[in-house]
Amino acid sequence: MLNLPANPKQYLIIFTRYPEPGKTKTRLIPALGTLGAANLQREMTEHTIFQVQELQKVIDVSVEVRFAGGNLQLMQDWLGLGLVYQSQGEGDLGSRMARSLFESFQSGVEKVIIIGTDCPGVNTQILATAFEKLHSFDLVIGPAIDGGYYLIGLRQHIPELFVNIEWGTAQVFQKTVDIAQKLNLSQVNLLHLADIDRPEDLPIWEQVIAGEVTK
């Protein structure tokens, strides 16, 4: 048994969206239809939640789900009562991430990591490594193959990392790194992983499912 302290100083925030058909994974609707795209959003979120729950078995970390769409009741009906939920609120992705970081650090935590649910390669080992790296670095970032990032971790609120960035473009990761360098932040990158955003990305998810079925 692990002897975990009562008040974890490590915090993991999962950004996701309620899987309402027509309002989620819209770039995949041509390939999957509205219902199929929503089902993929649901499955990928549940996959991420499972990895995070496995992480909680090996390190001391609190978890929060920041959601868009739906409401608290719908989220609880979907993912259960055992998670903390918070609306992402208004603004672009950068504003929403910056707000979640600010509120987390205000509550007294020392390390915060934000992940999405679009990258099935984010597993327990990668998350544990990210928290470990935050012992030594100001910024931990997981670069996505499409030029974005799937994970960002910080030891303090640095709002400059989330402004004047064109979210959803291939320059997001590099722009974030450039800002970090100007701020003299120590930084480490995790493995490059693939997001699932477009029809051509779907084989990645199919491989993940096939691997879990054969385990």
Residue 213: per-residue pLDDT: 52
CB environment 184-193: b (16+ within 10 A), e (fewer): ebeeeebeeb
Q: What is the pTM of this model?
A: 0.93
Q: Would residue 4 count as lying in a domain? A: no
Q: Would residue 130 count as lying in a domain? A: yes
Q: Would residue 42 count as lying in a domain? A: yes
- Domain total of the chain: 1
Q: Would residue 100 count as lying in a domain? A: yes
Chunk the chain into consecutive blocks of 10 residues (it has 215) and report each block's average pLDDT, rounded to whole numbers: 53 98 94 96 96 95 97 97 95 97 94 97 96 97 96 97 95 97 98 94 88 59
Q: Would residue 182 count as lying in a domain? A: yes
What whole-number distance in Å separates Cα of residue 109 and Cα of residue 62?
Answer: 10
Range of the domain at 38: 10-214
Q: What is the CATH number of the domain that holds 65?
A: 3.90.550.10
Residue 151: per-residue pLDDT: 98
Q: Would residue 113 count as lying in a domain? A: yes
Q: Would residue 80 count as lying in a domain? A: yes
Q: Would residue 1 count as lying in a domain? A: no
**Token code pair at residue 47:** 């996959």
CA dihedral 124, 129, 132, 137 (to 10 degrees): -140
Residue 4: per-residue pLDDT: 37
What whole-number distance in Å separates Cα of residue 20 and Cα of residue 3?
Answer: 40
